[in-house]
């Protein structure tokens, strides 16, 4: 039995005060159960120079050993290495995809080092868009590979950002949630680190580089996120080694002068990063990826293809109309291209005809000349033949003359 208390609001939406149990208060539980059943996925991009500590930090973050061999410094170009792992913490399953740069910062010419990263991010957006545009979509088993966060590893130089850092972060800032990190923070002194952090943040601002803004709209996380903002860029140290400190075993790096404990907030910002990334903001990072970065990509792409929501008269345009216009445009373009091709073909045919005619004339001239030469040659030979025949006749004449002479000579000798 249900009782409703009706309240008329100014905007004509009635608010009901309910007495009794209905069951829709369990909606969040349904969502939780479904999400746990489906499992979660998270795609993380690590950008940083070779040997800066990317693999170590990922292993430290997930307290695992995601087997990976050391990368070399001799790659001719920047490449990306993609690995997907299935992780489980209590009954929550996480499909973690780690994309790492390989050969980043190792080339002499670093101008286009960011391009493979930009291309990869865009390719994942494009794949999602293509799935969205399909008639038969299958998002249930679709592996969404869009990058949710980019951990950008800055060298602990204590000076400033390198031009490679600036150009890459500028190129990807509008495509992905960047969280800047100072890598190997154990190699920089406390004073230098604070100055370095300030320098980096001011350089990011002055170069108009967009980084991930921790959300403050949610009351519970607003406080922690606001205070965390002040620690950016997180100075992190990574290690999967267990080191003895007092009576406890902790994860850290052992040095001759002491131990840096990665999970000690006085030593580095590793715990802050882990909490921000995995506990507090993972869902927001995914949401920002979808609603901000992917939306931007989708919007630009569809506009480039020619889609629009409103026509020149500011009236909404239907998909059908756009399709018809595009179809007509495409048809016209095909016609134009066909015409151009036809013209080109005719031109080529004409040119060929001219060259054939020229070649034919050349051959004809050659033939005529050869014919003339041959005729002259025949006349010459005829003349020579005639002369030879004359010579033969003369020879025979001479021969018969000499024979007569010889016979006459012999007769007169006998008479004597």
Least CB distance to ligand GDP at residue 293 (A)? 25
In the set 44, 47, 52, 178, which binds ligand GDP (CB under 6 A)? 52
Indicate the residue whose CB is closest to ligand GDP. 53
Say whether residue 124 binds ligand GDP (CB under 6 A): no
Helical packing angle, 163-172 and 115-133, nearest 10°: 10
Give yes or no for a contact between 51 and 155, defined as CB atoms under 8 angstroms apart.
no
Token pair for residue 65?
Answer: 């050993």
Nearer to ligand GDP, 56 or 113 (CB): 56
What distances in angstroms separate CA 309 from CA 131, 134, 305, 325, one per listed residue?
21, 20, 13, 14
CA geometry: angle at 200 spanning 195 and 203, to 5°?
Answer: 125
Tokens of 338: 């066909």
| Residue 54: CB minimum distance to ligand GDP, A | 3
Give whichever of 187 and 210 is closer to ligand GDP, judged by the CB atom.
Answer: 187
Q: Is the CB of 117 or the CB of 289 nearer to ligand GDP?
A: 117
- Are 42 and 286 in contact by the 8 Å Cβ rule? The answer is yes
If one asks whether residue 286 binds ligand GDP (CB under 6 A), the answer comes out as: no
One DSSP character per residue, 114-151 reads: THHHHHHHHHHHHHHHHHHH-SS---SS-------EEE
186 binds ligand GDP (CB under 6 A): yes
Q: Which of 208, 260, 212 is nearest to 234 (CA)?
A: 212
Residues contacting residue 63 through CB under 8 Å, at least 6 positions apart: 240, 251
- Work out which of 51, 116, 158, 215 binds ligand GDP, going by CB under 6 A: 51
Q: Which of 36, 5, 50, 1 is nearest to 22 (CA)?
A: 1
Give yes or no for residue 281 binding ligand GDP (CB under 6 A): no
Q: Residue 165 interacts with ligand GDP (CB under 6 A)? A: no
Under the criterion CB under 6 A, does residue 54 sit at the interface with ligand GDP? yes
Q: Which three-class secondary structure state does DSSP give residue 324?
A: helix
Nearer to ligand GDP, 168 or 288 (CB): 168
Reduce the DSSP state of residue 87 to 3 states and report it. strand
- Is residue 50 involved in binding ligand GDP (CB under 6 A)? yes
Helices (H), 20-114: 27-38, 54-61
Q: Position of tokens 């829709």?
A: 24
Nearest CA to 144 among 272, 245, 285, 8?
A: 285
Task: Compute CA 10 distance to the chain's CA centroid, rounded to the nearest angstrom.
Answer: 53
Burial of residue 87 (CB within 10 Å: 0-12, 13-18, 19+) is middle
Closest CA to 49 of 10, 78, 6: 78
Q: Does the N-terminal peptide bond of residue 233 adopt cis geometry, omega within 30 degrees of 0?
A: yes
Q: Which stretch binds ligand GDP (CB under 6 A): 83-91, 130-138, 182-190, 327-335?
A: 182-190
Task: Tell me which stretch binds ligand GDP (CB under 6 A): 46-54, 80-88, 90-98, 347-355.
Answer: 46-54
Q: How many CA atoms lie within 13 A of 214 on its CB side?
A: 26
Closer residue to ligand GDP (CB): 186 or 269: 186
Q: Which is nearer to ligand GDP, 100 or 286 (CB)?
A: 100
**Of residues 55 and 97, the one with the C-beta less far from ligand GDP:** 55
The least distance separating ligand GDP from the CB of residue 71, rounded to whole angstroms, comes to 5
Q: How many residues bind ligand GDP (CB under 6 A)?
A: 16
Interaction of residue 53 with ligand GDP, rule CB under 6 A: yes
| Closest distance to ligand GDP from the beta carbon of 86 (Å) | 21
Residues of this chain, 67-106, that bind ligand GDP according to CB under 6 A: 70-71
Contacting ligand GDP (CB under 6 A), which of 56, 97, 155, 221?
56
* Position among 43, 55, 281, 289 found at the interface with ligand GDP (CB under 6 A): 55
Query: Of 47-55, 89-97, 217-225, 318-326, which part binds ligand GDP (CB under 6 A)?
Result: 47-55
Does residue 238 bind ligand GDP (CB under 6 A)? yes
Torsion angles phi and psi, residue 15, rounded to 5: -100, 135
| Beta carbon nearer to ligand GDP, 50 or 97 | 50
Among 150, 237, 273, 277, binds ligand GDP (CB under 6 A): 237
273 counts as binding ligand GDP under rule CB under 6 A: no
CB of 331 to ligand GDP, least distance (A): 53
Which residues are near ligand GDP by CB under 6 A?
48, 50-56, 70-71, 184, 186-187, 237-238, 253
């Amino acid at each position: 039995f249900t009782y409703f208390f009706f309240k008329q609001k100014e905007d004509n939406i009635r608010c009901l005060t309910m007495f009794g149990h209905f069951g829709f208060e369990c909606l969040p539980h349904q969502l939780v159960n479904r999400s746990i059943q489906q499992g979660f996925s998270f795609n993380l991009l690590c950008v940083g120079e070779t040997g800066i500590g990317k693999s170590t930090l990922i292993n430290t973050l997930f307290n695992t050993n995601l087997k990976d061999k050391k990368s070399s410094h001799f790659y001719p170009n920047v490449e990306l290495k993609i690995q997907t792992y299935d992780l489980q913490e209590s009954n929550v399953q996480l499909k973690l995809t780690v994309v790492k740069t390989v050969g980043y910062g190792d080339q002499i010419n670093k101008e286009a080092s960011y391009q493979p990263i930009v291309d990869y991010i865009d390719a994942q957006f494009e794949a999602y868009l293509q799935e969205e545009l399909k008639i038969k979509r299958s998002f249930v088993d679709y592996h969404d590979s869009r990058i949710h966060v980019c951990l950008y590893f800055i060298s602990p130089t204590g000076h400033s950002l390198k031009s490679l850092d600036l150009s890459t972060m500028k190129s990807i800032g509008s495509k992905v949630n960047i969280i800047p990190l100072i890598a190997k923070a154990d190699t920089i002194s406390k004073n230098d680190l604070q100055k370095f952090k300030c320098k980096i943040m001011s350089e990011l601002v002055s170069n108009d580089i967009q980084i991930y803004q921790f959300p403050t709209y949610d009351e519970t996380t607003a406080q922690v996120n606001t205070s965390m903002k002040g620690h950016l860029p997180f100075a992190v140290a990574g290690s999967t080694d267990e080191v003895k400190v007092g009576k406890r075993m902790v994860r850290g790096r052992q040095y001759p002068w002491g131990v840096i404990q990665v999970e000690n907030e006085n030593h580095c910002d590793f715990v802050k990063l882990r909490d921000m990334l995995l506990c507090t903001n993972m869902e927001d990072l995914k949401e920002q990826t979808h609603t901000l970065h992917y939306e931007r990509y989708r919007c630009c792409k569809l506009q480039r293809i020619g889609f629009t929501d409103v026509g020149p008269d500011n009236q909404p345009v239907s998909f059908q109309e756009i399709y018809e216009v595009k179809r007509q445009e495409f048809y016209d373009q095909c016609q134009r291209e066909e015409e151009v091709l036809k013209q080109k073909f005719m031109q080529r045919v004409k040119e060929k005809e001219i060259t054939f005619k020229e070649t034919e004339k050349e051959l004809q001239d050659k033939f005529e000349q050869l014919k003339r030469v041959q005729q002259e040659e025949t006349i010459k030979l005829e003349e020579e033949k005639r002369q030879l025949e004359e010579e033969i006749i003369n020879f025979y004449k001479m021969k018969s003359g000499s024979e007569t002479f010889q016979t006459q000579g012999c007769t007169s000798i006998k008479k004597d």
